[in-house]
A = this chain, B = another copy of it.
Amino acid sequence: MSTLDLMKELHRDKGGKIVLLVMDGLGGLPIEPGGPTELEAARTPNMDKLAAEGSLGQIIPVAPGVTPGSGPAHLALFGYDPLSHVVGRGVLEATGVGLRVNKGDVAARGNFCTVDPHGLIMDRRAGRIATDEAAPLVEKLRSIEIPGVAIELRHVREYRFAVVMRGDELQSAIEDTDPQQTGVAPLPALAIEPGSQKTAELFNMWIERAREMLSDQSKANALTLRGFSSDPALPPFPEIYGLRASCVAVYPMYQGVAALVGMQVEEFEGETPADEFSAVAAGWDKFDFFFVHIKKTDSRGEDGDFNAKARVIESVDAALPRLLDLKPDVLAITGDHSTPARLRVHSWHPVPFLLWAPATVRADDRRGFGESNCSGGGLGTFPSREIMSLLMAHAGRLEKYGA
């Protein structure tokens, strides 16, 4: 029996309220050997107090040494084995901007680019064209009609957009048309499996029309498509856990993953941690589970800015009392993966995990929230996909297994 099946069998429909606070890319590395990580350098009195009262551990998103993308890293946090449940980039992007990807649809992520008079790519991201210049181009492309299928487009931000094709017998085993280099032409959509041949041809027809339409544009006169993918048919989170689940996130992609598993994506004003915690407060009575996503830890890690990443963590800590005032029964603070500023990319390092649940936690002897303390914490080192059963237990939401 898989853990998801077990949760489906054991969950109670009543119990405490759970908050899963995810700071994207939280895990870090010291700049100098022996120094603190970003989280350890940050001044976090509130989290340190929770660490003292709670229990620490570290989580492995996919497998030791495996660096995850945002999709698999979040699926794991929600309890889905990311090696069994695969969500394509196109589906993530489309769902993130509110485009539904239903059974039988094929989604892709689109990038505007620039090509020279010979059709060879000059800039794969069209100079990161501004949102207000790119959005009208997406609008223009909406007029393209391909016989037998419906095509929906939505702008994401800057040079990025999402496309979803709906029709009969569509399949998504198609290679990216982005050649990942400049000086060559975009590739045609190429089917990897025979069943996807027809779909690839339909996309090529659409690409052809789109190129004609963009050819007189100065800022972005071509495009590439990547991450062709279909509905991953994930078992719904609310059914697995018996939780009314809410997502409070600023960035479309994370809203997209949450929507894919069936969480309710909240709309709210602002984008600071305090704004996000206020959104949690606004939905407090309507939901049992709150996934709260902080993006900027990851962004500053990818910038390679150690101090800025630490400051993002401090801003979350400073806003934390607003969340604690709600008196959650269970609060977990963690990341989806590590993004050490020193490396400037996602990494495979274990992610610090803090569990606070005043009624039932077995406190360990660790006093502050940071990588070193977490690596010796009472919860040990375990897969990210096992945190949900732990949170459920501490919320009093699981029946006993077996007699």
Instruction: Name A's B-contacting residues (CB within 8 A).
Output: 1, 3, 6, 10, 29-30, 33-34, 37, 53, 58, 62-73, 82-84, 86-89, 92, 227, 343, 345-350, 360, 362-365, 371-372, 375-382, 386-394, 398-403
Given the complex, which residues of B lie within 8 Å of A381, measured CB to CB? Answer: 379-382
Expressed in whole angstroms, the Cα–Cα distance for A403 and B71 within the complex equals 6
Interface pair A386/B64, CB less than 8 Å apart: yes
* Chain B residue nearest to A83 in the complex (CB): B1
A109 to chain B, nearest CB (A): 8
Partner pick for A227 among B34, B362, B389, B403, CB 8 A cutoff: B403
A288 to chain B, nearest CB (A): 16
Determine how many copies of this chain the complex contains: 2
Interface pair A87/B402, CB less than 8 Å apart: yes
Partner pick for A363 among B34, B68, B376, CB 8 A cutoff: B34
Expressed in whole angstroms, the Cα–Cα distance for A372 and B378 within the complex equals 7
Interface pair A380/B65, CB less than 8 Å apart: no
Given the complex, which residues of B lie within 8 Å of A88, measured CB to CB? Answer: 403
* Chain B residue nearest to A372 in the complex (CB): B365
Given A30-B362, A348-B393, A372-B378, 20 more contacts at CB 8 Å?
A: A1-B83, A1-B84, A6-B66, A63-B386, A64-B386, A65-B386, A65-B391, A67-B398, A67-B400, A68-B401, A69-B400, A69-B401, A70-B403, A82-B402, A87-B403, A347-B360, A348-B398, A349-B362, A350-B380, A376-B376
Partner pick for A68 among B70, B394, B400, CB 8 A cutoff: B400
* Chain B residue nearest to A89 in the complex (CB): B403
Given the complex, which residues of B lie within 8 Å of A66, measured CB to CB? Answer: 6, 10, 389, 393, 398, 401
Expressed in whole angstroms, the Cα–Cα distance for A83 and B70 within the complex equals 30
Expressed in whole angstroms, the Cα–Cα distance for A395 and B84 within the complex equals 26
Given the complex, which residues of B lie within 8 Å of A363, measured CB to CB? Answer: 30, 33-34
A228 to chain B, nearest CB (A): 12
Expressed in whole angstroms, the Cα–Cα distance for A350 and B82 within the complex equals 25
Given the complex, which residues of B lie within 8 Å of A392, measured CB to CB? Answer: 65
Given the complex, which residues of B lie within 8 Å of A390, measured CB to CB? Answer: 64-65, 348
Given the complex, which residues of B lie within 8 Å of A65, measured CB to CB? Answer: 386, 388-394, 398
| Residue picked from A70, A86, A371, A381, most chain B C-beta under 10 Å | A381
Interface pair A401/B82, CB less than 8 Å apart: yes
A70 to chain B, nearest CB (A): 7
Interface pair B58/A380, CB less than 8 Å apart: yes
